[in-house]
Amino acid sequence: MNTLNRRKFLKNAGSVAAAAASAPLVKPSWSQTSPNDTIHIAVMGIRGRGTSHYTEFARIPNVEVTYLCDIDERVFAPHLAEMEKLSPRKPRTEVDIRKILDDKDVDAISVAAPDHWHALATVWACQAGKDVYVEKPTSHNVWEGRQAVEAARKYNRIVQAGMQNRSNRNVRAAIQFLHEGGIGDVYMAKGLCFKPRESIGRRPNGPVPEGVHYDLWLGPAPYRPFNENRFHYNWHWFWDYGCADLGNQGPHQMDIARWGMDIYDYPVKIHCAGGYFVFDSDQETPNTQMATLEFADGRIIQFEVRGLYTNAENEITIGNLFFGSKGWMHLNGSTWKTYFGRKNEPGPSMDSSEGAADPSNLRGTGDSSHFKDFIDAMRSRKVEDLAADIEEGQRSTALCHLSNIAYRLGRQLEFDPNTEKFVSDAQADLYLSRRYRAPYIVPEKV
């Protein structure tokens, strides 16, 4: 049990909270005293995950989706049509998030843009006095993730990381069981991401489609000619914008693994092997990866990506396994099971139907509850009311970034949790940040 690391984290968290409490509060445009006051939200990035953002916020009483923001004007019409079914008030549309940040009537930004925009949008929003809901991964690299945390604290903002499992009552019950010693001392956890991924093929560069604001889409990333294969969704598979499936799905399972093991520090050793197998395409990131992260007390977190043809592992394709001194746990979505001894005798368990009917106060069933949790914390102005504060999101996301760095360099790395840099490894340190393209620069001082 890393008691020292836990104490250090809690001590630091207390110091940060105290600093935030004494920082000048940027007063929101809505009253903090009445739950009937309307909170105004802008959703940045409305394809894919962004659809869930505006749908869930629109369902919460006294929350209004004021803006839909996207760099592709072609997507506005269908999403506005969807919003008409959800709200009597039609949101405004905007392509440039900076114009929304200048609107003093907007209380919060919900970020579902591509990964390379997450940290910058968070920092800018905090500086503008907005609260933030930011999707995983909370950053594109380790350094800018830390800058997002610093911005949240400096400006006393409520910033929720999109780790929805932390608002799932079944997952919370599983974690509580682990923390109470249910399977003994947990020495290892494994996250699984077995998602079938097909070849993206090859495409030539071409003209920017009408209605696409390409410079805004690139944002902090280096300039490159427009290519459809690097644009909608396929951007995940290019290092300039995405973080591979290890950084796409990985933050969820890394977060559960770290949470379940009660780990609040970074690993000291990181190894990651893999490759892009079978297909011949433009893709840069691997479709197969195995990461192993060792912590100062010797405990281990593993994460495995299988994007090709595979079996499940104990019936899990997306989920976690925990291994303890008495037994082990299978955690698959809202279902978990435990097994004990050499004969794998079944122990306590919980399935999704139990979670849905559970009247306890262990929050809700995941996605919807996570958005509501953010709104509730906005009203209370208490960071501790968040299920997944940005600090938690940063630490879990960083495990994915560190693993990807080890993969890209092709060797085991040693990391110093105190400095958040590699040990005597200037080459690896270069991957902790990036060269930003003006004016889309994450500031050194937030």
Q: Are residues 14 and 139 in the same domain?
A: yes
Residue 440 lies in a domain: no
CB contact at 8 A, 309 and 177:
no
Q: Are residues 7 and 85 in the same domain?
A: yes
- 296-343: per-residue pLDDT in tens? 999 999 999 999 999 999 999 999 999 999 999 999 999 999 999 999
Question: Quick check: 1 pLDDT over 50?
Answer: no
- pTM for the model: 0.91
What CATH number does residue 283 fall under? Answer: 3.30.360.10
- pLDDT at residue 365, rounded to an integer: 63
Q: Are residues 324 and 300 in the same domain?
A: yes
Q: Are residues 264 and 152 in the same domain?
A: no
Q: Are residues 59 and 10 in the same domain?
A: yes
- pLDDT at residue 24, rounded to an integer: 36
- Split into its structural domains, the chain has a count of 2
How far apart are the C-alpha atoms of 238 and 243, rounded to whole Å? Answer: 7
Helix H, strand E, coil C: the string for the chain is CCHHHHHHHHHHHHHHHHHHHHCCCCCCCCCCCCCCCCEEEEEECCCCHHHHHHHHHHHCCCEEEEEEECCEHHHHHHHHHHHHHHCCCCCEEECCHHHHHCCCCCCEEEECCCHHHHHHHHHHHHHCCCEEEECCCCCCCHHHHHHHHHHHHHCCCCEEECCHHHHEHHHHHHHHHHHCCECECEEEEEEEECCCCCCCCCCCCCCCCCCECHHHHHCCCCCCCCCHHHCCCHHHHCCCCCCHHHHHCHHHHHHHHHHHCCCCCCCCEEEEEEECCCCCCCCCCCCEEEEEEECCCCCEEEEEEECCCCCCECCECEEEEEEECCEEEEEECCEEEEEECCCCEEEEEECHHHHHHCCCCCCEECHHHHHHHHHHHHHHCCHHHCCCEHHHHHHHHHHHHHHHHHHHHCCCEEEECCCCEECCCHHHHHHHCCCCCCCCCCCCCC
Q: Are residues 375 and 403 in the same domain?
A: no
CB atoms within 10 A of CB 235: 17
Question: Quick check: 26 pLDDT over 70?
Answer: no
Q: Are residues 358 and 379 in the same domain?
A: no
What mean pLDDT is predicted for residues 132-158?
98
Considering the chain, what is the average pLDDT of its residues? Answer: 92
What CATH number does residue 139 fall under? Answer: 3.40.50.720
Contacts of 59 (CB under 8 A, 6+ apart): 86, 368
Q: Are residues 358 and 373 in the same domain?
A: no
Q: Are residues 379 and 318 in the same domain?
A: no
Residue 351 lies in a domain: yes
How far apart are the C-alpha atoms of 202 and 362, rounded to whole Å? Answer: 47
Residue 252 lies in a domain: yes
Residue linked to tokens 């004494």: 22
Which one has a higher pLDDT value, 27 or 192?
192
Residue 439 lies in a domain: no
- pLDDT at residue 367, rounded to an integer: 84
Question: Quick check: 193 pLDDT over 60?
Answer: yes
User: Which range marks the domain in which residue 108 is found?
Assistant: 3-166+367-388
Residue linked to tokens 């009537």: 105
- pLDDT at residue 357, rounded to an integer: 40
Residue 445 lies in a domain: no
Q: Residue 90 is encoded by which pair of tokens?
A: 């039609």
Q: Are residues 41 and 181 in the same domain?
A: no
Beta-bridge partner residues of 186: 324
Worst-scoring range by mean pLDDT, 84-88, 180-184, 253-257, 375-379?
84-88
CB atoms within 10 A of CB 309: 8
Q: Are residues 253 and 308 in the same domain?
A: yes
- pLDDT band for position 58 (cuts 50, 70, 90): very high
Q: Are residues 134 and 173 in the same domain?
A: no
Question: Quick check: 18 pLDDT over 80?
Answer: no
- pLDDT at residue 6, rounded to an integer: 40
- pLDDT band for position 16 (cuts 50, 70, 90): very low
Residue 102 lies in a domain: yes
Residue 155 lies in a domain: yes
CB contact at 8 A, 304 and 192:
yes
Residue 442 lies in a domain: no
Q: What is the per-residue burial (b if ≥16 Cβ within 10 Å, else e) of 178-205?
A: beeebbeebebbbbbbbeebeebeeeee
